[in-house]
Amino acid sequence: MANTVSVLSYANTFGDWMINTNDIANELNRLSKGTYTMEGTLVLNGSGVGLQVSNTALFTGNVLMTGPGTSLQVTNSANVGNDLTVADTITGNNLVITGSVGGTAIIQFRQRILDDALAVSVALS
């Protein structure tokens, strides 16, 4: 859990300085090697890569991308366990929809699809 560390001044004792130094070292060790939980908002703002995850990333809430120039790029496969809604233009090579549906298959396109092919293969069971 993220802790706050007291700000020191010249009025503090040597013992206060030692306690705060240890608190800072412990907090840094938690951040670098353990499970780190913080309250509030983590803002990553800089040039280059803002966040790189080398292992599996788990999001238990929504992932929201906003602002000019934002996009989601998937280099390999993307597996969607429920609904995928595309509310604007789909551009690129192929959009392939496959699956088995126990009932009705609804495939809607609200806008337009540009370039190449659209393949839809749905087996109703």
Question: pLDDT truncated to tens, each residue of the chain (125 aa)?
Answer: 556 777 888 898 999 999 999 988 988 888 888 777 778 888 888 788 888 888 888 888 888 888 777 777 777 777 777 777 766 666 666 666 666 666 666 666 655 666 555 666 666 55
Nearest to 99 by CA among 123, 118, 115: 123
**What pLDDT, in 10s, does the model give residues 56-77?**
888 888 888 887 777 777 777 7
Enumerate the β-bridge partners of residue 91.
114
CA angle, residues 88, 61, 92, in degrees to nearest 5: 25
Give the span between the Cα atoms of 98 and 122, in whole angstroms.
5
- SS3 category, 15: helix
For residue 111, what are its two tokens?
Answer: 């806008």
Give the span between the Cα atoms of 40 and 80, in whole angstroms.
29
